[in-house]
Amino acid sequence: MFNNPPTIYSIKAASTEGFSELNAFDVALLKSGVGNTNLVKMSSILPPNCLKVDDINLPPGDLVPVAYAAITSSKKGELISAAVAVAVPKDKTKNGLIMEYEDKNITKEEAESHVIEMAKWGMEYRGYEIEKIESIAASHIVKEHGAAFACVVLWWE
């Protein structure tokens, strides 16, 4: 399916309400810029030399590799949060690491702090020195049907 590793990545997050939990999830995808594509959920490796960009223009209907955290709920008043972190190694010949985390009854800040620690731990376990860690999170207090979504989109220049 994919012949070469992606060369660029972008991180996005959104939260929203919807007609149903699935509709809320769909709107969160749209707000994150991936809603009109077919997501291919991947494990958590950032290819070597992958460069961060602010936005990626994705072709509608295309297969798009994405690492993501997502949570939905229909429990009124419940706080839901999703976060992702990207750990970039100092040695550009090595891969980076992406971590995803979602949970109920935690704040956006708590989710983001937790996912950053996950990324640090994973890099330390690999013996990789970290150049930087980037993260993003979204939280939502459910009114009827809510979703929180955070993702790392991989693509090609």
Where in the sequence numbering do the catalytic residues fall?
38, 43-44, 100
Nearest to 58, CA basis, from 115, 9, 130, 24: 9
Structure tokens, 32: 């994150």
- Kindly write down the DSSP assignment for every residue of 8-51, as one continuous string: EEEEEEEEEE-SSHHHHHHHHHHHTT-TTSEEEE--SEEPTT-E
Residue located via tokens 């060369």: 7
Structure tokens, 113: 């702090």
Q: Determine whether 115 is exposed, middle or buried from the number of CB atoms within 10 Å of its CB (0-12, 13-18, 19+).
A: buried
Nearest to 51, CA basis, from 5, 8, 4, 6: 8
